[in-house]
């Protein structure tokens, strides 16, 4: 499909989008990309991916979990990436590429494939609106119904899919991808190589209201912004509130799932990962390399130490000060302590019965003593 292009005022010159084509890779090329050791036909070619138990000729697959090894001897995949440590029990028909970690290598290839697909998209679809003061870098793609406000700065190779809205003075770094319907409010900053999935809202007002004597609430204006650093990925329908003053900050390398709420003035540390339906309250400071399970909730104005591991549905109501600890439950307890408490809770009915039996025995002994 070709894309009709109109060059907006103040933007770089745009060209027709290139026509998508089927990408094909040989085993030799793939081995070079993942630094793997090739076993079999170096000229074997693939153009798509498939699960090892379902893959067909012309597809690439992988085997990382030994539990599924039996599929390796039956698969029709042309090329399979496997762990270097795997010792074959039977012959295989596929060309093999051995790597230290098959799962990581396969993820690398998927990312490269996706990158090549998106690189084909350039130009500006109509209808769309681009303010005359906005500046666009090279090889930018602007999908239909995109709105780009005043003084927006967009870097090179940025992809804006249909329905994206960029408020005034928003900055988007090189090689970032904003999927359909993403909304970035005024003054917010998105770094390089950031991916934001469909429906996410960045920079909406923080939840700030001042209680009044008559029982009403006066809105506190939220005049800060959101800063998202490089190589962050944010899932679909996530919301990140702008700061009351200053910035809500998502540090480099953070990975966020779908349906997450990040409140105003929160700071998420480098390489932290957050699973779906987590809510982080205002002014919370999350350290580096923290792992959140799904549906975690935090109180506001607390800090969470580097390397903390938070189990799903944990409620954190006070700061975690020691790094590299695991937590579970509501209120949050250190993981081993939480497990002991769960065991004790499970045993409570039996303990209650034993206490009642002991009470009866004591009463009986006292009665016998009185009658003696």
Annotated catalytic residues are: 264
Alpha-carbon span 269 to 278, nearest angstrom: 16
- At residue 346, φ and ψ (nearest 5 deg) are -60, -35
How far apart are alpha carbons 365 and 180 in whole angstroms? 77
The C-alpha atoms of residue 103 and residue 28 are separated, in whole angstroms, by 19
Question: DSSP for 18-34?
Answer: PPP----EEHHHHHHHH
Q: C-alpha angle 181/140/134, rounded to 5°? A: 80
Q: Say if CB 285 and CB 267 are below 8 A apart.
A: yes
Q: Write the CA distances from 294 to 155, 287, 303, 332, integer angstroms.
A: 33, 18, 19, 14
Residue the block writes with tokens 């036909």: 41
C-beta neighbour count of 344 within 10 angstroms: 10
For 286-302, b/e burial (b = at least 16 CB within 10 A) is: bbbbbbbbbebbbeeeb
- Cβ neighbors of 276 (< 8 A, separation 6 or more) are 235, 257, 258, 259, 260, 294, 295
Q: Is 317 left (phi over 0), alpha (psi -120 to 50) or beta?
A: alpha
């Amino acid at each position: 499909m070709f894309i009709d292009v109109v060059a907006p005022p103040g933007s770089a010159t745009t060209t027709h989008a290139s026509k998508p084509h089927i990408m094909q890779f040989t085993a030799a090329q793939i081995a070079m990309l993942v630094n793997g050791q090739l076993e079999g036909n170096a000229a074997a070619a693939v153009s798509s991916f498939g699960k090892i138990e379902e893959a067909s000729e012309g597809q690439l697959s992988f085997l990382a979990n030994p539990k599924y090894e039996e599929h390796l001897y039956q698969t029709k995949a042309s090329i399979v990436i496997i762990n270097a440590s795997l010792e074959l029990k039977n012959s295989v028909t596929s060309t093999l590429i051995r790597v230290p970690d098959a799962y990581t290598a396969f993820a690398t290839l998927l990312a490269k494939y996706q990158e090549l697909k998106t690189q084909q998209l350039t130009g500006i679809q109509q209808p769309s609106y681009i303010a005359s003061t906005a500046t666009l870098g090279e090889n930018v793609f602007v999908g239909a119904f995109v709105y780009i406000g005043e003084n927006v700065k967009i870097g090179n190779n940025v992809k804006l899919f249909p329905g994206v809205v960029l408020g005034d003075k928003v900055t988007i770094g090189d090689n970032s991808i904003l999927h359909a319907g993403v909304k970035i409010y005024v003054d917010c900053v998105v770094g390089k190589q950031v991916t934001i999935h469909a429906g996410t809202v960045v920079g909406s007002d923080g939840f700030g209201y001042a209680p009044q004597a008559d029982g009403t609430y006066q809105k506190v204006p939220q005049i800060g912004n959101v800063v998202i650093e490089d190589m962050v990925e944010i899932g679909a329908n996530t919301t990140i509130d702008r700061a009351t003053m200053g910035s809500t900050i998502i540090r480099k390398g953070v990975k966020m799932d779908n349906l997450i709420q990040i409140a105003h003035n929160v700071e998420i540390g480098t390489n932290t990962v957050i699973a779906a339906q987590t809510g982080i309250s205002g002014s919370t400071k999350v350290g580096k390399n923290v792992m959140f399970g799904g549906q975690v909730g935090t109180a506001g104005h607390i800090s969470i130490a580097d390397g903390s591991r938070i189990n799903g549905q944990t409620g954190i109501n006070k700061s975690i000060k020691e790094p590299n600890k695991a937590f579970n439950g509501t209120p949050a307890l250190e993981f081993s302590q939480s497990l002991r408490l769960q065991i004790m809770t499970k045993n409570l009915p039996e303990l209650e019965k034993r206490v009642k039996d002991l009470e009866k025995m004591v009463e009986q002994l006292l009665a016998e003593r009185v009658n003696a």
